[in-house]
Structure 1
Amino acid sequence: MSHLGLITIVVDDYDRAIRHYVQDLGFALVKDLDQGDKRWVVVAPPGTERDRQATHVLLAEATDDDQRARVGDQTGGRVSFFLHTEDFDMDHMALSQRGIVFEEEPRDEPYGRVAVFCDLFGNRWDLIETVSRLD
């Protein structure tokens, strides 16, 4: 095994999710393939869309009540995703200017600089610049 390729985020609507991840979060749309009864929609953080070793995000539209109940709360309210940056202040400002609301002011921790935000669906994310690449 060499790397984790995809993680799934359950969303309520493909097009709404694509707009949010691409326009608001600045992700790249890697794939959007119609497979008849569903779509294969993959997005990636800026600069990682062509990196075969980077983890990408599969956006999966909820198809039943159990899945719809988990949209935005896939981890019971815990931070679900960790978006790493090499320039925290620049990315924090860019996300804020695009309407991303942070739950807290940026803070410095022993492991790095961090602030929590929610995506459009309610999933909690850390924007984080670590002090070490051994994270």
Structure 2
Amino acid sequence: MKINLASVFVDDQDKALRFYTEVLGFVKKHEVPLGEHRWLTVVSPEEPEGTELVLEPDAHPAVRPYKEALVGDGIPATSFAVDDVRAEFRRLRGLGVRFTQDPVDMGPVTTAVLDDTCGNLIQIAQQR
């Protein structure tokens, strides 16, 4: 068994697609119209056949309060692996990304947390 899909709930699929591709560097994999929304996924350019991240509309009534509670408590919705957290932090800050946690060494990992502009906090993590 392996992970095929993971979702992040977003408040605007177009804005999310721009952020996740143009800023974070993911690549659009699927875009299928589904009424008001789309089945919209991105993948890592390093693993184009790997796990797809679904940019899932946050239209369900339970989702927005859930997202707001996570953000309010500073809890990331998900985590992405990077080779060098500090380098990625500098690159993303240079692109105007807002971080809620600068890089921190936490035992065997270094992490930082960013705002994805779509209602989520996202952690980036480097295994040491």
What SS is found at the alignment partner of 1:93? helix
Match of 2:44 in 1: 45
SS of corresponding position for 1:105: strand
Rounded to whole Å, the distance in 1 between the matches of 2:25 and 2:69 is 22
Out of 79, 84, 108, the residue aligned to residue 111 of structure 1 is 108
Deviation at 1:82, TM superposition (A): 1.2
Q: Which is further off, 12-21 or 34-43? A: 34-43
The answer for unaligned runs of 5 or more in structure 1 is none
Q: TM-score, normalised by structure 2?
A: 0.81
Deviation at 1:64, TM superposition (A): 4.2
Alignment deviations for residues 30-59 of structure 1 (CA, whole Å, 9 cap, x no partner)? 1111133531100123422x13xx322101
The number of equivalent residue pairs is 127
Query: Is 1:9 aligned to 2:8, yes or no?
Result: yes
Q: Which runs of 4+ in 1 moved over 6 A?
A: none
Unpaired segments ≥5 residues, structure 2 = none
Deviation track 1:74-128 (CA, whole Å, cap 9, x = no partner) reads: 6874222111111223222221112111123212221122112121123222211
The structure richer in strand per residue is: 2
Contact 1:80 1:123 in 2 (8 A): yes
Q: Could you tell me the TM-score, scaled by structure 1's length?
A: 0.78
